[in-house]
Amino acid sequence: MPVSSSFRTFVIDQLSRVIPRVRARSMFGGVGIYASDRFFALIADDTLYLKVDESNRPDFEARGMGPFRPYAEHGEVMQYYEVPADLLDDPEALRPWAENAIAVAGRKKVKRSRRGGA
């Protein structure tokens, strides 16, 4: 999952143009990207991935983009999808994709109570 310093700098620069308080943190050979305290993107092998759920995954799939697989092609799938390359060159086109990923990262999973009633 190596990340070149030039790609990391490029991605952070592009995201910083449209998202406030973007920061990067090295982790497990890749880079985690945060907007404030929300972990919404990652870079691995010089590829940018954004966080997805059922609300934005179809946008990625419609563009033929696939999920991040940290342990080979047939391994575990994470809820991050590859960003179409043309978006990286156009910060304004990238903006809604990044904003949606930040919104996904901000959603809390609500745990249901398992209490029985009588």
What secondary structure letter does DSSP report for 67?
B
Provide the token pair at 14.
């592009």
The enclosing domain of 68 has a CATH number of: 3.30.1460.30
**In-domain check, residue 113:** no
Which residues 6+ apart lie within 8 Å of 87 measured at CB? 93, 94, 97
Question: What pLDDT does residue 29 have?
Answer: 82
Question: What pLDDT does residue 28 have?
Answer: 83
**In-domain check, residue 58:** yes
Q: Which domain holds residue 96?
A: 5-106
**In-domain check, residue 90:** yes
The distance of Cα 10 from the centroid of its chain, to the nearest Å, equals 16
The whole-model pTM stands at 0.86
Question: What pLDDT does residue 55 have?
Answer: 96
**In-domain check, residue 78:** yes
Domain count, the chain: 1
**In-domain check, residue 76:** yes
Question: What pLDDT does residue 10 have?
Answer: 96
Per-residue pLDDT tens digits of the chain, which is 118 residues long: 679 999 999 999 999 999 989 999 998 889 999 999 999 999 999 999 999 999 999 999 999 999 998 777 776 778 999 999 999 999 999 999 999 999 999 986 554 545 554 4
**In-domain check, residue 114:** no
